[in-house]
Homo-oligomer: A and B are copies of this chain.
Amino acid sequence: MAGEYPLRPCFFPLFPPTHVAWLPLLGYSAPLRDTAPAKRSSLHFQGIAQQNSKYTNAQTNKINLPVEQFVQFYYQTFDGNRQNLAGLYRDHSMLTFETNSVQGTANIVEKLASLPFQKVAHQVSTLDAQPSNQEGGILVMVTGALLVDEEQKPMNYTQSFQLLPDGQGSYFVFNDIFRLVYG
């Protein structure tokens, strides 16, 4: 597939090839995002939200199920038994978790398994996706909160993925960058 559609960054079409269901990805926003207005801590942000609110319905209509399903599967698996995430990575996949970077499925799973908590629960607040190349790649950025073990105070986090097609009609995680966000 890559050979058929070599990446030409400087001549990327205005929209992806029609054989790739990319358009729905543009600006997909998880509805959960706007279900927490109480969390808005700034009039300025409220201004931004109000300014954008007229786009919300249009964006919500652009939900891309594969991306939403990937994110739901990823965090459900992470919160259940994160070693089961191995199938999502390949030997050339990269994970940056806080200040630690590893490459390859085995190293990534080892890193995830070594994280110093037993119980973890993620809640996704926002999910945005854009096409990342002409071969079907998808850039996904998530924000959310997570609770670990017996902690009562959720920690905010952000995580970016690049998903690439695996050639069998599915995707694998090529890039994975995770950071906690401090208020």
What residues of B have a CB within 8 angstroms of the CB of A39 in the complex? 182-183
Cα–Cα, bound, A63→B2 (Å): 31
How far does the Cβ of A43 sit from chain B's closest Cβ, in whole Å? 8
Copies of this chain, how many? 2
- Give the residues in chain B near A41, CB-CB below 8 Å: 153, 155, 182-183
> Range of interface residues on chain A?
35 or more
Cβ contacts A88-106/B at 8 Å (1 or 0 each):
0011101011111101100
- CB pair B156 A183 closer than 8 Å: yes
A160 within 8 A of B: yes
Chain A contact residues, CB within 8 Å of chain B = 2-3, 6-10, 12-14, 26-27, 29, 33-34, 36, 39-45, 47-49, 51-53, 55-56, 59, 90-92, 94, 96-101, 103-104, 114-117, 125-126, 128, 130-133, 135, 137, 139, 141, 143, 148-149, 151, 153, 155-156, 158, 160, 162, 164-167, 172, 174-175, 177, 179-183
A158-B155 in contact given A2-B7, A8-B2, A177-B130 (Cβ < 8 Å): no
Taking CB atoms, residues of chain B closer than 8 Å to A45 are: 155, 180
**CB neighbours of A13 from chain B (8 A):** 92
Can you report 28 residue pairs joining A to B where beta carbons are below 8 Å apart?
Answer: A2-B6, A2-B8, A2-B9, A6-B6, A9-B135, A12-B174, A14-B91, A14-B103, A26-B103, A27-B99, A29-B98, A41-B183, A45-B180, A47-B117, A48-B115, A51-B115, A52-B100, A53-B99, A59-B101, A101-B130, A128-B177, A132-B132, A139-B177, A141-B141, A141-B158, A141-B179, A158-B181, A160-B160
Tell me the bound Cα distance from A180 to B158 in angstroms.
10
